Chain A
Amino acid sequence: MDRVPILKIGQVLFVSIQIDLQDDSVVQLQEDLADQLAATSARGVIIDITAVEVVDSFIGRMLAMTGSISRLFDAETVLVGMRPAVAITLTELGLSLKGVRTALNAEKGLQLLGGTGDG
């Protein structure tokens, strides 16, 4: 199983998903992320899904859940680089990813976390 690396940049955990997401790798990522958040007390999490071309309802729900988990550690989650096709799929699935913020790219995501939160 592929593991997704979690990088710590300052007060932010940066996760760039470069693989085709499988159900178990998402679950693994969620656990790893929770461990890291507990260990580093980071303020924010950026999940870069630029390379993700296909999502299903499970992965969509997992992404939303990751946001809720991070919130418990007082960290904000920003999902960046979503492709239009993925966005359309998630909307059709009725997932609006409440609790997760979104940004067009990693740079804007960092701005969002770095600033007051208004972007």
Chain B
Amino acid sequence: METHSDLQRMAAYLREQADELLKRWADLVLTGSRGLTSADDVRRELDDLLHLVLRSMTDADELAGGELRAALAELSRSRARSGYSPSETALAVFALKDAVHEFVADAAELVPEFLAFSRMIDDLGLHTFETYAAAREEIIADQAEAMLELSTPVVRLWDGIIAVPLIGTLDSARTQLVMEKLLDALLATGADHAVIDVTGVPTVDTEVAQHLLKTVMAARLLGAECTICGIRPQIAHTIVSLGIEFGDITTKATLADALAYALSRAGLKIGPV
């Protein structure tokens, strides 16, 4: 194929001045990387990449193409994790084109070769970008999961009384997690009173209310009483406007009131020393 022989010629030409080219490439990448990595690291990374690029440009090495893509994927993934912007990541690849262009600028006979080379680099750049985006998506998914775990602590208020402070928007997945954690905690601690504090819940709609009611019902089946506290004034308004009935579930204004109520149910009370 025409392009292949072009690429091969280009590879042979570049291989002769690989060291110079690497140096120029590394300089270009470093100027655009805001000092996020050291010059040595960049040079090592790019050295590997350049070898793979040159190998994949010659037909003799079929594996090199795959290896090059894997190496680029690894590079963009690690850059995505260490906070590079997408264009900074793609720059690592595109800078090679600039570097090579400087070398062949005055060699008019290398134009078709340079075009073929340029097309290949564009391709690799796109690949880098795609992996970068995928890595970012992965990070976001991980963070969402971590946040879900973080946002549902179960704390022990007193012997036999536990509290679940809910912070953030409640959705089905989260309420399910809250329910499971609360029930497990009831079982593990042997508590017979649970306080669900919704001070940090910004909005309540019928669905959220339904979820809360279900949680309370499930806790009741386990033999524990549930109190809901910390309903904000606006939310109280919404709940009444929506016609949501909390039935016989005890609701208290603040966590302190709920604790006092739970203590009194357990036959305890707090008094001055």
Q: Which residues of chain A have a CB within 8 Å of any CB of chain B?
A: 79-80, 82-84, 86-88, 90-92, 96-97, 101-105, 108-109, 119
Q: Is the CB of A119 within 8 A of B218?
A: no
Q: Is the CB of A108 within 8 A of B192?
A: yes
Shortest A64–chain B CB gap in Å is 11
Our pick among A82, A86, A88, A90 for the contact of B223 (Cβ within 8 Å) is A82
Q: Is the CB of A82 within 8 A of B217?
A: no
Q: Is B122 an interface residue (CB 8 A)?
A: no
Q: Is the CB of A105 within 8 A of B217?
A: no
Q: Is the CB of B222 within 8 A of A87?
A: yes
Q: In the complex, A109 Cα to B190 Cα: how many Å? A: 13
**How many A-B contacts are there with CB distance less than 8 Å?**
56
Chain B residues contacting A86 (CB-CB under 8 Å) are: 221
Q: Is B115 an interface residue (CB 8 A)?
A: no
Interface string of B193-227 (1 = CB under 8 A from A): 00000000000000000000010011111111000
Q: Is B179 an interface residue (CB 8 A)?
A: yes
Q: Is the CB of A97 within 8 A of B223?
A: no
Q: In the complex, A87 Cα to B215 Cα: how many Å? A: 9
Closest to B215 in A: A91
Q: In the complex, A97 Cα to B219 Cα: how many Å? A: 12
Q: Is the CB of A87 within 8 A of B218?
A: yes
Q: Is B187 an interface residue (CB 8 A)?
A: yes
Q: In the complex, A66 Cα to B191 Cα: how many Å? A: 26
Give the interface size bracket for B toward A: 10 to 19
Which of A87, A91, A97, A103 is the most central at the interface, judged by chain B CB atoms within 10 Å of its CB?
Answer: A87
Q: Is B183 an interface residue (CB 8 A)?
A: yes
Q: Is the CB of B180 within 8 A of A104?
A: no
Shortest A100–chain B CB gap in Å is 9
Shortest A79–chain B CB gap in Å is 7
The 8 closest A-B pairs by CB, nearest first: A84-B183, A103-B223, A102-B223, A87-B221, A87-B218, A91-B218, A104-B223, A91-B217
Chain A residues contacting B224 (CB-CB under 8 Å) are: 104
Q: In the complex, A119 Cα to B267 Cα: how many Å? A: 10
Q: Is B229 an interface residue (CB 8 A)?
A: no
Q: Is the CB of B184 within 8 A of A84?
A: yes
Our pick among B179, B187, B218 for the contact of A104 (Cβ within 8 Å) is B187
Chain A residues contacting B190 (CB-CB under 8 Å) are: 104-105
Q: In the complex, A86 Cα to B222 Cα: how many Å? A: 9
Q: Is the CB of B221 within 8 A of A104?
A: no
Q: Is B186 an interface residue (CB 8 A)?
A: yes
Closest to B219 in A: A87
Once A104-B192, A105-B190 are accepted as A-B contacts, the answer to whether A91 and B221 lie under 8 Å apart by CB is yes
Q: Is the CB of B186 within 8 A of A90?
A: no
